[in-house]
Structure 1
Amino acid sequence: MTALGFLYPGHSAEDDYPRIEQLLGSDIRLTVIHTDIGEDAHRVDALLEMGSPERLAAGVEQLRHSGAEAVVWACTSGSFVFGWDGAHEQVRALAKTAGLPASSTSFAFAHAVRELGVARVAVAATYPEDVADHFVEFLHADGVEVVAMRGSGIITAAEVGTWGREEVLALARAGDHPNAQAVLLPDTALHTAAHLRDLEAELGKPVLTANQVTVWEGLRLAGRRVNAPELGTLFMKEPVIQVPE
């Protein structure tokens, strides 16, 4: 049994996690601990407060009782707004507090892009563009070329959590670019676990979504590799990357 813990801000798309656990079809348990979201706003100052050490530490004690082998801060915007170096400090503090290997969704995206072996990506974000720009800067710091970025101007996670399949597919289509080798949807408030196969079929290339990469990152920290094609190319043992000529 591999037990993984996730600190998830508020309540939006946390039901992706039991769905992913079911799709993994293995001896893996995903435990979600909710952290206090504070102000629900995709605004830099609110996101910095959401990802503060105090708010993350508050969920760690409950996480310890779950038997988790690793912990991931399941929030993209609440990690990348700290910048590359600040996000590292955030994860180091979380690891020290939890006494466990730790990461965040932002680093999950960076590691997943590397896993797929792609160099050029497009970002289809729910956030306002000024917030999404911070994600682009974060990826650039890891050497990832972002060939296109689309922000949707959604202010609250609560609104993002109401989006269904058609809105998710429309977001991905709008954010795609012919030169992108993969498309990234960076918001853990967005329900995507049920749509990963549809997303990749629609775009004809790998698609990375926040809750998907967050679980993959937890497995990576625990030294587990799971073949689960329903969760997209990232969860296939031998990824097939379509590279535009």
Structure 2
Amino acid sequence: MSLASPSLRPDCRAALGMITPSANLVVERVTCAMLADFPEVSGHFSRTPVFGARDLHPDDYDWDGMLTAARLLAQARPDVIAWNGSKGATLGFATDRELCRRVTEETGIPATTSSLALEAALARLGARRIAVVTPYVTDYQAKLIAGFEREGLEVVAQAHSGIADNLDYAAVPDDAIAAMIRDVAAAKPDAILTWCTNFPAAYGVDALERELGLPILDSVTLAVWHGLHMVGRADFRGRRWGRLFDGIAP
């Protein structure tokens, strides 16, 4: 029996499958909160090992872990499988395209990632000058910025929390995130990225966009937004999650 998702469901419902890092506490929370505005779309989750303060695969993906997670999701026959993880920005968007190719070849299901969703959103915004806000330590922040610059993006400002352990990213307070966003906004970038899918920045995006007059692209929100577009469901119902839902289609 094929694991490929049906192109049309008789009840007009859709399902998004999300692969998340194993130490992540944010992806499920934000995805479920966002999908509350889209009651015809359900979210389903699988995990791949990413935890602690040391990446066991610093320059590549754990392909076995990723594809195992995708295979498990495919058993539920979602319409889309998304890697809701931010590592592709350090590896290169081409690596994420290869990940999507392998997931689709393995499961028959269309795939996307947070990084490819970012690429689509920046293209639609015409944004090349970015500011980057993360929970990361200095060395990883530098690696991330170098990754964005290889993609032709100009990083005009950056801020980071200096946290090493993956699990602790989820505990950065709202006021600390907002302060970093306000700080980088002074550089007047085309867009601000809150980058790390275990970083709870999504909840403050709408209010800060209205305050600062700048688009803020959150890595978790991006993956959900792109998945919703892939199933033809993204619309103004998601506006409380930011400008992404102001008709910015990939």
The answer to whether the aligner puts 1:168 opposite 2:194 as a matched pair is no
Q: Secondary structure at the match of 2:42?
A: strand
The answer to whether the aligner puts 1:121 opposite 2:135 as a matched pair is no
Q: Give unmatched runs, 5+ long, in structure 2.
A: 1-12
Q: 1:104 to 1:206 in 2, by over 3 A?
A: same
Q: Secondary structure at the match of 1:194?
A: helix
Q: Secondary structure at the match of 1:118?
A: coil
Q: Secondary structure at the match of 1:200?
A: helix
TM-score between both structures, scaled by the size of structure 2: 0.83
CA distance in 2, matches of 1:235, 1:208: 11
CA distance in 1, matches of 2:248, 2:19: 30
Per-residue CA deviations over 1:152-210 (Å, capped at 9, x if unaligned) read 32112211111232122123123334330211011100123322222213432111111
Task: Determine if contact 2:135/2:161 at 8 Å carries over to the other structure.
Answer: yes
Q: Give 1:26 deviation, angstroms.
A: 4.3
The answer to whether the aligner puts 1:180 opposite 2:189 as a matched pair is yes
CA distance in 2, matches of 1:102, 1:237: 21
Task: Determine if contact 1:9/1:35 at 8 Å carries over to the other structure.
Answer: yes
Computed over aligned residues only, the root mean square deviation of the Cα atoms, in angstroms, reads 2.3
Q: Secondary structure at the match of 1:173?
A: helix
| Equivalenced residues, count | 234
Q: Secondary structure at the match of 2:207?
A: helix
Question: What is the aligned partner in structure 2 of residue 15 from structure 1?
Answer: 29
Q: 1:173 to 1:26 in 2, by over 3 A?
A: same
TM-score between both structures, scaled by the size of structure 1: 0.85
The answer to whether the aligner puts 1:36 opposite 2:49 as a matched pair is yes
Q: Secondary structure at the match of 2:155?
A: strand
Q: Secondary structure at the match of 2:188?
A: coil
Q: Give 1:237 deviation, angstroms.
A: 1.9
Residue identity matched to 1:124: V
Question: What is the aligned partner in structure 1 of residue 77 from structure 2?
Answer: 67
Question: What is the aligned partner in structure 2 of residue 197 from structure 1?
Answer: 206
Q: 1:177 to 1:93 in 2, by over 3 A?
A: farther
Question: What is the aligned partner in structure 1 of residue 7 from structure 2?
Answer: none
Q: 1:201 to 1:82 in 2, by over 3 A?
A: same
CA distance in 2, matches of 1:187, 1:33: 18
The answer to whether the aligner puts 1:4 opposite 2:7 as a matched pair is no
- Percent sequence identity is 24
Q: Which moved more, 1:126-135 or 1:62-71?
A: 126-135
Q: Which moved more, 1:163-172 or 1:179-188?
A: 163-172
Per-residue CA deviations over 1:127-146 (Å, capped at 9, x if unaligned) read 12332233333333443222
Q: Which runs of 4+ in 1 moved over 4 A?
A: 43-49
Q: Secondary structure at the match of 2:161?
A: coil
CA distance in 2, matches of 1:182, 1:109: 11
Residue identity matched to 1:131: Y
Residue identity matched to 1:80: A
Q: 1:45 to 1:148 in 2, by over 3 A?
A: farther
Question: What is the aligned partner in structure 2 of residue 138 from structure 1?
Answer: 147
Give the alignment partner of residue 94 of structure 2, picking from 85, 91, 106: 85
Question: What is the aligned partner in structure 2 of residue 27 from structure 1?
Answer: 40
